[in-house]
C-alpha cells in the first residue's frame, strides 16, 4: 500500500497536505497534486486552495479556470481568507466562466479581510493584499459606493501592515507600499 493511501485511509489530511507541499517545493508538482487531492477529499481547506492554485496555474495538472474556481469556492466556504480573495478576483475579473461581478468581489474581499485580520496568527501579507483590494474598490467605486476617505484609510492600513516587511527588503511588500502611496496621494489630492 502506498504512503498516500495509508495516510488517506488513516484520515490524516494534515500530513497529506504537508507532504504535498514538500513535493510541490521539490518540483514534483504532479505528485503534490495527488496529495492535495487526497487531503481535499478529507475536507482540508488549505489543500483545496492549493489544488485550486494547481488548476489555475497548470502546475501538476492541466490548467482549468473553472476547476480552480470550484476549489477556491469550496475552501472559501470553510472561511479560508486566501481563497476568499481568489474567489473575489475571479468575480472581479469575470474569470472561470463567471460574469464580472464587482459587488460580489468586494463582499469576498471584505469577508476575507475580516477573517485574516482576526486570525490568531494573522498572515500579514494576505491581510494587506485584501485590505489593498478593499481600498482600490472604495477609491473607484467598484462594487461598492465610492468613498475616498474609506479608501485612504484602507491604503494607510496596508502601509502600516507592510512597513516592517518592506524595510526588510520584501519585494512584494515594497511594491504594495509603493502602490498604496500612489493611491493615498490620489485620495489626498481629491479631499476638500
Angle between helical axes of 124-140 and 81-93 (0-180°, round to 10): 30
Q: Are residues 48 and 138 in the same domain?
A: no
Q: Which residues contact 47 (CB under 8 A, 6 or more apart)?
A: 13, 16, 17, 20, 35, 36, 37, 39, 40
Q: 29 is in which domain, residue-wise?
A: 1-78
Which of 33, 58, 78 terminates a domain? The answer is 78
| Cell digits of residue 45 | 481547506
Model confidence at 146: pLDDT above 70: yes
pLDDT at 122 (0 to 100): 85
Q: Are residues 84 and 71 in the same domain?
A: no
Percent above pLDDT 90 for the chain: 94
pLDDT at 1 (0 to 100): 59
Q: Are residues 18 and 100 in the same domain?
A: no
| Cell digits of residue 50 | 492549493
> For the chain, what is the domain count?
2
pLDDT in tens, 48-81: 999 999 999 999 999 999 999 999 999 999 999 9
Which of 31, 55, 78 terminates a domain? The answer is 78
191 pLDDT band (50/70/90 cuts)?
confident
pLDDT in tens, 90-113: 999 999 999 999 999 999 999 999
d(CA 101, CA 139): 17
pLDDT at 192 (0 to 100): 64
d(CA 109, CA 81): 8
Q: Are residues 90 and 120 in the same domain?
A: yes
Smallest Cα–Cα separation from 54: which of 35, 33, 75? Answer: 33
Percent above pLDDT 70 for the chain: 99
pLDDT at 40 (0 to 100): 95
Amino acid at each position: 500500500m502506498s504512503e498516500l493511501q495509508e495516510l488517506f485511509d488513516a484520515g490524516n489530511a494534515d500530513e497529506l497536505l504537508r507532504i504535498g507541499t514538500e513535493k510541490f517545493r521539490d518540483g514534483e508538482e504532479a505528485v503534490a497534486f495527488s496529495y492535495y487531492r487526497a487531503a481535499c477529499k478529507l475536507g482540508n481547506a488549505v489543500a483545496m486552495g492549493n489544488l485550486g492554485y494547481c488548476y489555475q496555474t497548470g502546475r501538476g495538472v492541466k490548467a482549468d479556470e473553472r476547476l480552480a474556481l470550484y476549489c477556491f469556492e469550496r475552501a472559501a466556504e470553510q472561511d479560508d481568507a486566501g481563497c476568499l480573495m481568489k474567489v473575489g478576483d475571479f468575480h472581479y475579473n469575470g474569470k472561470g466562466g463567471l460574469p464580472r461581478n464587482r459587488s460580489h468581489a468586494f463582499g469576498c474581499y471584505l469577508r476575507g479581510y475580516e477573517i485574516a485580520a482576526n486570525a490568531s496568527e494573522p498572515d500579514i501579507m494576505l491581510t494587506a493584499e485584501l485590505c489593498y483590494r478593499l481600498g482600490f474598490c472604495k477609491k473607484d467605486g467598484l462594487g461598492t459606493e465610492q468613498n475616498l476617505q474609506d479608501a485612504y484609510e484602507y491604503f494607510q492600513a496596508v502601509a502600516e501592515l507592510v512597513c516592517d516587511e518592506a524595510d526588510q527588503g520584501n519585494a512584494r511588500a515594497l511594491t504594495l507600499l509603493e502602490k498604496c502611496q500612489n493611491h493615498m496621494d490620489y485620495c489626498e489630492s481629491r479631499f476638500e
